[in-house]
Amino acid sequence: MQIAIKEFFDAFPGYEVSIRPRPDGMLLLTLGKDGDEPLRKAIPSDAVFCTERVRRVIREMQREMKLASGEVTWKGEGDTWLDRELPTFSGGPIHITAAKTLVERRRLELLNRRAVAN
């Protein structure tokens, strides 16, 4: 397990890395940095004994960190990361989705029926 922990420290310099057991038998990997909200991920307990699986967890954590910061977007199947700029907006009105309008219409119909009944 020391080898796996070393891999995490090497992959995330400047972060406080901790691995703790969970009641369900999995492990909780926590990456913390001063002043930032820690990033946590539940990993299978046997994953720390396989170098390939440890590297996969490290890559997933790096991806999650980049997604959270807006540096990359994830598309398609597999571990494809695409760099992109944040979208720009035209400043137009927000369009209500069909589901939200359906709910609103049903609510108004119910209110109208109640008003007619009274």
What CATH number is attached to the domain comprising 70? 3.30.160
Pairing, β 16-21 against β 27-32 = antiparallel
- Quote the number of domains for the chain: 1
**Is the pLDDT at 96 greater than 70, yes or no?**
no
Whole-Å CA distances, 16 to 37, 65, 90, 91, 96: 12, 15, 41, 41, 43
Instruction: Give domain status of residue 116, yes or no.
Output: no
pLDDT at 80: 57
Q: Which domain holds residue 12?
A: 2-83
Instruction: Give domain status of residue 103, yes or no.
Output: no
More confident residue, 108 or 2: 108
Most confident of the following: 25-29, 32-36, 45-49, 89-93: 25-29
Spatial contact of 27 and 20, defined as CB atoms under 8 Å apart: yes
57 CB-contact burial (10 Å; exposed 0-12 / middle 13-18 / buried 19+): buried
Instruction: Give domain status of residue 111, yes or no.
Output: no
Instruction: Give domain status of residue 113, yes or no.
Output: no
Closest to 3 in 3D by CA, of 57, 60, 49: 49
Residue 2 Cα to chain centre, angstroms:
27
The model's pTM is: 0.56
Read off the pLDDT band of 21 (50, 70, 90): very high
pLDDT at 88: 47
Q: Please, how many CA atoms are within 13 Å of residue 70, restricted to the half-sphere of its CB?
A: 3
